[in-house]
Amino acid sequence: MTKKLLGHWPFILLILTLGVYLGVKAVPENSWDGWRVGSAQTLLSDKQWAEDGILNNYFLFLPQGYSKTVRYFDDPELRQHSRGIATGGFIGKRLYYTHYPFSYLLPTALLMKFGVENRFWLRLLEILFSLGGLAFLYWFLNIVSNRLAALAGALFYGASTIFLDYADSLANQPLDDLWRFAAIALSVFSLSASEKNKKYLNYGVWSLFFLASISSYDSTLFILAWLVGLDLLILKKINFKKWLFWSSAPALAFGV
């Protein structure tokens, strides 16, 4: 096992380098990632969840400053004040943020629940998610090609602005990367598995697709297109039953 890992030492070095850079970047208390608004909303919602409980917040975002009285603004007669004075609507805006999957808030909300207040530790957790996603990308490229191509692909993505700006974000991007690349890698790995193991691997892919869908909208159509494309282009099969199985993952996630 150790010998196999040493064979991938350039990628391990890349992961360590990115980890140190992102960790140092996350240390200053006044620094932010590339989507500071999304991270600030996450912090506000996590505070509400940690203080009052997730169930009391209906598993919904509440990106408002923490106050016991803020929920009064969700009453119909006060909703026009929920996000500043809003006119022209029948009952005004809802206080709760209802139109995006919620589960990417859970890891940082749980850390807050256990007493973590320093934002560095919250960002460090997200960095680990992002580096995990990069590892799955490397694994996928190594399966379909070779170590050199896998390293080049991981380096290209890991050094990109898209990765470096959002790898420490408290918003949805780190978990979206993790679940998306994991689902892609496992779906390709399953092609060479035995029929018995392929069944369980397919359940694993479905679970990863569900987790991606309940964490973010960003990759839903891409993952579904990828899974259908594997059947059409690699296996050269039309399998509506299987595609319906894949589609049930985001349908269930959005339903929740």
User: How many other C-beta atoms lie within 10 A of the C-beta of residue 195?
Assistant: 6
pLDDT per residue as tens digits for the range 163-183: 999 999 999 999 999 999 999
Q: Are residues 18 and 78 in the same domain?
A: no
> How far apart are alpha carbons 22 and 7 in whole angstroms?
25
Q: Are residues 88 and 204 in the same domain?
A: no
Residue 51: what pLDDT? 85
Q: Where does a domain end: 53, 74, 102?
A: 102
Q: Is the pLDDT of residue 207 over 50?
A: yes
What are residue 224's phi and psi, to 5 degrees? -65, -45
Amino acid (one-letter) located at 218? D
Q: What is the token pair recorded at 177?
A: 């990367």
Report yes or no on 108 lying in a domain.
no
When divided into structural domains, the chain yields a total of 2
- Segments forming the whole domain that contains residue 143: 2-27+120-255
Confidence of residue 188 (pLDDT cuts 50, 70, 90): very high
Q: Are residues 135 and 96 in the same domain?
A: no
Residue 79: what pLDDT? 61
Report yes or no on 111 lying in a domain.
no
Q: Which residues of 136-145 are buried (b: 16+ CB within 10 A; e: fewer)?
A: bbbbbbbbee
Q: Are residues 90 and 201 in the same domain?
A: no
Average pLDDT over residues 215-227: 93
Q: Are residues 42 and 22 in the same domain?
A: no
Q: Are residues 154 and 196 in the same domain?
A: yes
Q: Are residues 169 and 71 in the same domain?
A: no
- Please, what is the average pLDDT of the chain? 87
> How far apart are alpha carbons 165 and 34 in whole angstroms?
5
pLDDT per residue as tens digits for the range 61-79: 887 766 666 766 666 666 6
User: How many other C-beta atoms lie within 10 A of the C-beta of residue 94?
Assistant: 15
Q: Are residues 59 and 6 in the same domain?
A: no
pTM over 0.85: yes
CA separation, residue 161 to residues 128, 166, 216, 225 (Å): 18, 8, 20, 25
Q: Are residues 238 and 126 in the same domain?
A: yes
Question: What angle separates helix 9-26 from helix 119-144, to the nearest 10 degrees?
Answer: 160
Q: Are residues 198 and 162 in the same domain?
A: yes
Lowest mean pLDDT segment, chosen from 17-21, 203-207, 233-237: 233-237
C-alpha angle 62/88/68, rounded to 5°? 25
